[in-house]
Structure 1
């Protein structure tokens, strides 16, 4: 098994955020996780990243228990995250932000190769390489957040709400780039409030409600599902 969450429970104090979820991600897939605010989607990604620890169950990558590792060790295994809200370092330059994403990599030549690839994916970042990240537009900051995650040369990229707050034309550009990243060999786990765009991009999807997985299917089947349409797609139709 490539990446698997098994009977994962997560608590914040006495409040249980995840109630025994099971999710699997196969190598090469784009898997999307859908759900309303508070469903547990971000907690799921943070559990994979090692930023929150389960109270029961676990996260396994190629059968290694990730939940027993520190978050920087998870990054070193090839799992990186672009967080909700971008979280770029505003007082550092674009280039400095990107290099921070490569903190686990000791091979300088490899880092520079990865940087070159990111500049191919996001030419705007190369144009702005010396600019302070805090002065970038929202779309440019999202490109930077994804680029920073890619600097870790991941096998799995976790994306938390990459289209949030962006104009439709930028959303299309970001999603096209995610497809390109996936086609390069990176497995993607996508949490996204734009359910229609996410399902058109993904291989498979999971629907979460209040800390539980309530539906799992191929992305095409979820896109056509009347319940999913009513809840997340504005009643269906194109």
Structure 2
């Protein structure tokens, strides 16, 4: 199994955020995780990244137990995250932010090659490379957050709400870029409020409700499912 969450329970103090979820992601897929605010979507990604520890169950990547590793070791295994809210370092330049994403690598030639590829994906970042990240627009900061995650040369890219707060035209552009990234063979796990756009992009999807997986299916089936339409897509077929 490529990436697997087995019977994953996560607690914050006495509050259980995830109640034994099972999720698997095959190599080369885009898998989306849908659900209302507070459903446990971000917690799921943070569990994969090693930023929160499970109280029970575990996260496995190619048979290795990620939940037993510190988060920087998870990055070395090939899993990076573009966090919700972008979290770029505002007082550093675009270039400095990108270089921070490559902190686990000493291979200068590979770092340069990855950076050139990111500038191809996001030409705007090349134009702004010497600008402070805090002065970028929301859309540019989102490009930078994804670019920074890609600098780690991941096998799995975790994206947390990449379309949040962006204009529709930018959302379309970000999703097209995610598709291009996936076409290189990179696996993507996408948490996204924009359920329709996420399902059009993804191979498969999971629906979380209060820390439990209530549905798992192909993205096409979830798009066509009336319960999903009513809950997340604004009514049947509209």
Per the alignment, in what secondary structure is the counterpart of residue 4 of structure 1?
Answer: strand
Deviation, 1:185, is: 1.1
Give the Cα separation in 1 of the matches to 2:126 and 2:2: 33
Which residue in the other structure is 1:101 paired with? 101
Per the alignment, in what secondary structure is the counterpart of residue 139 of structure 1?
Answer: helix
Deviation digits for residues 17-62 of structure 1 (CA, Å, limit 9, x no counterpart): 0000000000000000000000000000000000000000000000
Per the alignment, in what secondary structure is the counterpart of residue 105 of structure 2?
Answer: coil
Give the Cα separation in 2 of the matches to 1:93 and 1:78: 25
Deviation, 1:4, is: 0.1
Which residue in the other structure is 1:59 paired with? 59
Give the Cα separation in 1 of the matches to 2:134 and 2:149: 18
Which residue in the other structure is 2:203 paired with? 203
- Would you identify which runs of 4 or more consecutive aligned residues in structure 1 move more than 3 Å? none
Give the Cα separation in 1 of the matches to 2:207 and 2:191: 10
Give the alignment of 1:12-23 within 5 angstroms.
12-23=12-23
Give the Cα separation in 1 of the matches to 2:41 and 2:236: 23
Count, aligned residues: 238
Give the Cα separation in 2 of the matches to 1:120 and 1:71: 29
Which residue in the other structure is 2:186 paired with? 186
Give the Cα separation in 2 of the matches to 1:109 and 1:123: 20
Deviation, 1:106, is: 1.0
Which residue in the other structure is 2:135 paired with? 135
Which residue in the other structure is 2:68 paired with? 68
Give the Cα separation in 2 of the matches to 1:186 and 1:79: 10
Give the Cα separation in 2 of the matches to 1:196 and 1:179: 15
Give the Cα separation in 2 of the matches to 1:159 and 1:186: 12
Per the alignment, in what secondary structure is the counterpart of residue 32 of structure 1?
Answer: strand
Give the Cα separation in 1 of the matches to 2:189 and 2:63: 18
Give the Cα separation in 2 of the matches to 1:224 and 1:215: 13
Give the alignment of 1:37-56 within 5 angstroms.
37-56=37-56
**TM-score, structure 2 as length reference:** 1.00
Per the alignment, in what secondary structure is the counterpart of residue 228 of structure 1?
Answer: helix
Which residue in the other structure is 1:119 paired with? 119
Which residue in the other structure is 1:147 paired with? 147
Per the alignment, in what secondary structure is the counterpart of residue 21 of structure 2?
Answer: strand
- Unaligned 5+ segments in structure 1 are none
Deviation digits for residues 205-224 of structure 1 (CA, Å, limit 9, x no counterpart): 00000000000000000000
Deviation, 1:70, is: 0.3
Deviation, 1:237, is: 2.1
